[in-house]
Copies of this chain bind each other. A is one copy, B any other.
Amino acid sequence: MIDFFFEPVGVAVVGATPEPHTAGFNLITNLTLSYRGPIYPVNPKHDEILGLRCYPRVSNIEGPLDVALILVPAPAVPQVLEDCVAKGARGAIIESSGFAEVGSRGKALQDRCVAIARKGGMRLWGPNCMGFIDTSKGHVFSFVIPEAWKEGMNAGRVSLIVQSGLLAAGFITTLMGNKTLGLAKVCSIGNKCDVEETELLEYLLRDRATKVIGLYLESFMNGRRFIELCHSSPKPIVILKGGKTPLSAEATVSHTASLAGNDQLITGLLRQANLHQAEDFFEMIDMARTLEKDFRLQQPPQGRPRIAILSYSGASGIVTTDHLEKHHLTLARLSPQTQKRLEELSPAWMPVKNPVDYWPAAEKHGPSLAYKHGIKVLHDAPEVDGLIVHLFAGFGIWFLDMKEVMSVIKGSRKPILFWLIGPEKGREPTRLTLEQEGWPTFHEIHRTVRVMASLFAQSRQKERMPGIPSPGLSIDPSLKELIEKADRNQAAVLDEFDSKKWLRALDLKVVDEAIAQDMEEALTKADEIGYPVVLKGRVEGQVHKTEAGLVKLNLCNAGQLRSACQEMLNLKPKPDFFMVQPMLKGDLELIAGVIRDPQFGLAAMLGLGGIWTETYRDVAFRLVPLTQKDVKEMVSDLKGEALFKGYRGSKPVNMGALSDWLMKLGWLAMTYEKIEQIDVNPLLIIDGEPVALDATVMLTQDSKI
């Protein structure tokens, strides 16, 4: 439990100083301004700081002490922690830098700190962090500049967890300067050597002051638990994931691994967890502050939220429409009733359609009446799920009393977001009024639309089914045998021939193949199978078969087969034996697999295969175990989703069979922990049914069933 950090009895400030413009001064100042319990400055150079008795060491403190805030140079921190343990403190927030973030020596120092704390039963927060601000209690346990928060601390319901030290300060100060973002708790977790995002998230999910959670994270300490928490969270969670640079594009054995190595695995899992994903800091905040509003979201009948635009300009209506398309929102088709009501204020020559260009109405009746009427009518229209209003706040009659205008909306409210422009002196008071009334405003069209889309993504979340357990398959004797063989052999990579045995043992459909020890046998088998055939040469452990010349496709007759065999027999090493397979023609070439991710654990992958796999990277990831719904969502994550429904007369993909495939692969990897990866490529769809043409199972040596 980390609750005590937020309500400690007794706080020490180790490294407090009376010298202005230093972090140590800011920290002790913030404590005196914000915390009412006992405060103990600790600094051997002073007897008193800001009128408080100053202690040379933590061990000299006499009163009760729950938390130490530490700002001394990194090398001095372990001794401070020893003192804290001795004193019986429950936790320490290390706000100093110079630990793991600066390299291996810093990492060693950090590890020492963790060891001391663990041994002493103490929790650590940080290091390399800004601590936290808790607006509900008014606590500022951070060295953020006092001027920054003294005027701007606006209690609210958005809490942030930020894996960063210094950004938090500048950023939060900027937000506070806006006066309209209500923050609950802002937690800077820095290097998160002990207290990390998942535990804090758990705390914030319980925290009654927190309604929406925003996160900036570069890594996940406890990925699977994190995803599970998010998945079941009734509170909206927005995340900005930093560090998306793809790993080096070196060739790897497995497509699954190279596709997972870049950002797509995490993106898929975050989607699985129903997180809102932002791409920049202010975008994260814009999403969070809007999700915090109590908008009533209705479910659009066709799935795509229907948006009305009320504007004073055709051009901005058009650009807004362009952005709607990008975000899978759609323009609402206004009913004749709605049109008629809107036309009450529009001149006869101006036809009303969506986007609604209400300039002529504003010119005729004044902008105040026009906006009132337009907003009221579009808000009331059942065919409108959300409304984007373009507002210019400037001079004279174009400086509206928006509190009065918005008073037309009573009770439960559909989302109405404003694209607000105008010169500062008109815009700023209008922004404040609208925000205070609960109507979010934005400075750019693309952001307005992006945030509208995130609102509806949130509403979809509530539909979600709970996860169900993986299919309770018993281990088939043939599978057991394969596992035992793998354990014996200590093989790291199983080639196609062996890998496909595992799939067959799971009762998954794999291309038929006949083994042939020599050319003559291959010819006989081919006759039995029927031309055209595929010839593969088996060299144990060789997984790059195409490049090694061990695959010949579409052999149409004995002559072609014979020369293919001969070519392979000339290779070095020559194949152990041949595999003859029918040349299957499918409607769709997929790739499927499972991979054990170091941060999140087992994840399954599904994507479009063939030569395009690496080009378009059209793949989706989800944590294992999967439900049928997960597999459906994986398909809908793909740009090539439409191909699954059948095209040019081909059958749609049997989703039950596809789910079975992915669920069983996941189940296998869960059951046999040695499995690092399974790569099924291609997984061909023939008459709607998935059939594996090739597969690779990769194992580690460090665990067993």
Contact = CB atoms under 8 A, between A and B. Distances in A.
Nearest to A421: B174
B21 A170 contact: no
Nearest to A241: B322
A184 B378 CA distance: 39
Contacts of A312: 166-167, 170
Given A532-B554, A556-B531, A557-B556, A102 B322 contact: no
B398 A145 contact: yes
A165 B357 CA distance: 11
Contact of A243 (B98, B322, B422): B322
Contacts of A642: 614-615
B360 A97 contact: yes
A229 interface: no
Contacts of A359: 97, 165-166
B423 A177 contact: yes
A250 B597 CA distance: 42
How many chain A residues sit at the interface, stated as a range, is: 35 or more
A441 interface: no
A103 B145 contact: no
B315 A218 contact: yes
Nearest to A282: B444
A173 B649 CA distance: 56
A487 to B, nearest CB: 34
Interface in A221-255: 240, 242-246
A319 B263 CA distance: 13
A394 B21 CA distance: 13
Contacts of A169: 392
A319 B240 contact: yes
Contacts of A647: 611
A171 interface: yes
Nearest to A74: B349
B547 A532 contact: no
Given A444-B282, A445-B280, A531-B557, A424 B177 contact: yes
Given A174-B421, A325-B245, A281 B351 contact: no
Contact of A315 (B242, B318, B423, B443): B242
Given A313-B165, A546-B648, A640-B616, A395 B556 contact: no
Interface string A334-356: 00000000000000011100000
Contacts of A554: 532, 554, 583, 585
A429 to B, nearest CB: 13
A219 B614 CA distance: 36
A643 interface: yes
Nearest to A99: B349
Given A218-B318, A280-B446, A616-B616, A166 B396 contact: no
B170 A313 contact: yes
B395 A145 contact: yes
Given A74-B349, A313-B170, A392-B170, A319 B422 contact: no
Contacts of A145: 394-396, 398
Interface string A162-187: 11111101110110110000000000
A23 interface: yes
Contacts of A313: 164-167, 170
Contacts of A318: 218, 242-243
A325 B616 contact: no
Interface in A382-400: 392, 394-398
A615 to B, nearest CB: 5
A368 interface: no
Contacts of A519: none
A702 interface: no
A349 B281 CA distance: 29
Interface in A269-288: 279-283
A106 interface: yes
A618 interface: yes
B106 A349 contact: yes
Interface in A447-470: none
Contact of A556 (B148, B360, B422, B532): B532
Nearest to A649: B547
Given A281-B316, A281-B319, A322-B245, A423 B152 contact: yes
Interface string A358-393: 011001000000000000000000000000000010
Interface of A: 21, 23, 74, 97-98, 101-103, 105-106, 145, 147-148, 152, 162-167, 169-171, 173-174, 176-177, 216, 218, 240, 242-246, 279-283, 312-316, 318-319, 321-323, 325, 349-351, 359-360, 363, 392, 394-398, 421-425, 427, 443-446, 531-532, 546-547, 553-554, 556-557, 583, 585, 588, 608, 611-612, 614-616, 618, 639-640, 642-643, 647-649
Given A74-B349, A174-B423, A553-B585, 7 more contacts: A23-B363, A148-B394, A173-B394, A280-B319, A280-B323, A283-B446, A554-B583
15 contacts: A145-B396, A148-B394, A166-B359, A167-B314, A170-B394, A177-B424, A242-B318, A246-B325, A282-B444, A531-B557, A532-B554, A546-B648, A608-B612, A612-B612, A616-B640
